Chain A
Amino acid sequence: MSDVPPALTPGFHGRPRPEGVALPPGQYVEDGFPVLSAGPTPNVSEATWSLTVTTEAGASTAWTWADLMALPQETPTVDIHCVTRWSKFGTRWTGVSLDVLLADVESTADFVMVGSYGGYTTNLPVADLLGGKAWIAHAFDGKRLHPEHGGPARLLVPHLYFWKSAKWVRSLTLLPTNRPGFWERLGYHDLGDPWREQRYQGD
């Protein structure tokens, strides 16, 4: 007698399927705004916050909070997708496009290491920060970004899994070759495209 494979989760129905929305594979719709981070929330004030971009040649450009506020502001409304499987539709942010911040930075690097207050890092291709795809965000739903969600300012790269959108962002370091950041060293994907379900290394 051959082994009959056991039935796969019989009696599981799931929620009514969302209609008319684009949900990446393996994700579900979340109406709240869950918080995920690897350690305590760092206490960063706007007075001490700054963002530094360093090229592969070692040249640095820095923006203070006042500098950031003086730049052209955008208000993207985007869907976000967390690797822990929630997706949240139509989130409204205020921030400065990376196209603005990186416009005059001279570099031939293809990769960026993002650094945060508190020590978090994440890596991604430069191409994923340019072309209207990424922002330094400082407000959510028109209100100052709460520290739990990365305030005073976080990276916002909504087309990638949300761990790439580093909270409490403080530095962008341009790299000629790719290096893994915090979660990427621990087995998570270097790019993290939710539509290709790139959760883990090897996906």
Chain B
Amino acid sequence: MTEPARLGGRYAVRSGWQLATLVDRRRESASAATLVLDVPGWPGHQPGQHVDLRLTAADGYTAERSYSLASVPEGSNRIEVTVQRVADGEVSPYLVGDFPVGSAVEVRGPVGGWFVWDPARDAGTPVLLLAGGSGLVPLMAMARARRRAGDRTPFRLICSVRTAEDQLYPDEIAALVARGDGFEARTIFTRAVSLTALRGPRRLTDSELAAWGWPPELAPRVYVCGPTGFVEAVSRMLVAQGHDPAHVRTERFGPGGG
């Protein structure tokens, strides 16, 4: 940049909508799928950013929703979003189940410049990722970017999901941990566990967060994403444990988000 443009300009989304084509859909869980979209001229994005999708019905009615990017920018036109089917949702059941491969959807983005972690800029400071349900998606983009860059920033990930069937990317997360390069992960189940589980089904506790996260003295960058109840409870615990609120970045999805 040659002129001191407004900061907004640096992050501004490219205006207008463009056509993207669904090239593949992968089932991620019983109720979630990853959509692989081809977006001509995709400018790249930062891990944690999202895209807006606009769907159009035969009578011209449109519905717009935001979805977190799951993929790492690859210098290609391919992007991936993981969509959780929301019961009674207007858009997500269509995207997860009915949207035919080979057809088009309008895309706008990338959007957002706050809930992001970029190894080129943010490497070094320990990172704590806290995911409630499909709030894992933008955090996974950060973890994938770290691996892609060969970055060794210490990462700790805590996932809270209802049951084992609701987990997203379990094999990939296990593989990231197995690399032994400073990536740790825990998953807790809030609704049901296997008969042999050592931990009963319950929400993340204060002591678990303290034990599995980073001590506040390390001043980690903290990213919390999930439903409002999860984000409120977890960020309250973090602040009570001494984390600087300015280092806790949150992203929430509320009811009716589907």
Chain A residues close to B by CB (< 8 Å)? 5-15, 17, 26, 28, 30-42, 84-86, 118-119, 148, 180, 182-188, 190, 200-203
* Binary CB contact string for chain B from 217 to 258 against chain A (1 if under 8 A, 0 otherwise): 000000000001000100110110000011011101111110
Task: Check A12–B55 contact: CB distance below 8 A.
Answer: yes
Q: What is the minimal beta-carbon distance from A64 to any residue of chain B, in angstroms?
A: 24
Task: Check B236–A41 contact: CB distance below 8 A.
Answer: yes
Pick the residue among B6, B12, B64 that contacts A26 (CB under 8 A). Answer: B64
Q: Count B-side interface residues using an 8 Å CB cutoff.
A: 54
Closest chain B residue to A202 by CB distance?
B15
Q: What is the minimal beta-carbon distance from B40 to any residue of chain A, in angstroms?
A: 11
Task: Check B6–A180 contact: CB distance below 8 A.
Answer: yes
Task: Check A35–B12 contact: CB distance below 8 A.
Answer: no
Closest chain B residue to A12 by CB distance?
B55
Task: Check B61–A34 contact: CB distance below 8 A.
Answer: no
Q: Inside 8 A of B248's CB, which chain A residues have their CB?
A: 39-40
Pick the residue among B56, B103, B113, B250 that contacts A187 (CB under 8 A). Answer: B113
Q: Inside 8 A of B245's CB, which chain A residues have their CB?
A: 39-40, 42, 118-119
Q: Inside 8 A of A190's CB, which chain B residues have their CB?
A: 8
Q: What is the minimal beta-carbon distance from B221 to any residue of chain A, in angstroms?
A: 12
Q: Nearest 5 A-B pairs (CB), nearest first? A: A34-B254, A40-B235, A187-B11, A186-B113, A32-B255
Q: Does B19 contact A (CB under 8 A)?
A: yes
| Stretch of B104-112, B157-165, B173-181, B201-209 on the interface side | B104-112
Q: What is the minimal beta-carbon distance from B89 to any residue of chain A, in angstroms?
A: 10
Closest chain A residue to B112 by CB distance?
A186
Pick the residue among B8, B94, B105, B239 that contacts A184 (CB under 8 A). Answer: B8
Given contacts A9-B104, A39-B246, contact A14 B111 (CB under 8 A): no
Q: What is the minimal beta-carbon distance from A113 to any residue of chain B, in angstroms?
A: 14
Pick the residue among A14, A38, A84 that contacts B114 (CB under 8 A). Answer: A38
Given contacts A8-B106, A85-B65, contact A202 B12 (CB under 8 A): yes
Closest chain B residue to A33 by CB distance?
B254
Q: Does B98 contact A (CB under 8 A)?
A: yes
Given contacts A12-B94, A14-B61, contact A85 B7 (CB under 8 A): no
Query: CA A33 – CA B84 in complex, angstroms?
Result: 20
Pick the residue among A9, A14, A34, A182 that contacts B103 (CB under 8 A). Answer: A9
Query: CA A40 – CA B238 in complex, angstroms?
Result: 9
Task: Check A148–B12 contact: CB distance below 8 A.
Answer: no
Q: Does B9 contact A (CB under 8 A)?
A: yes
Task: Check B104–A32 contact: CB distance below 8 A.
Answer: no
Task: Check B56–A8 contact: CB distance below 8 A.
Answer: yes
Q: Does B21 contact A (CB under 8 A)?
A: yes
Query: CA A184 – CA B98 in complex, angstroms?
Result: 36
Task: Check A186–B8 contact: CB distance below 8 A.
Answer: yes
Q: What is the minimal beta-carbon distance from A84 to any residue of chain B, in angstroms?
A: 6
Pick the residue among B104, B115, B236, B254 that contacts A40 (CB under 8 A). Answer: B236
Task: Check B252–A187 contact: CB distance below 8 A.
Answer: no
Given contacts A12-B99, A26-B62, contact A39 B250 (CB under 8 A): yes
Given A5-B104, A8-B103, A37-B250, 9 additional A-B pairs, CB 8 A: A6-B19, A11-B98, A35-B232, A39-B248, A41-B236, A85-B66, A148-B232, A186-B114, A187-B8
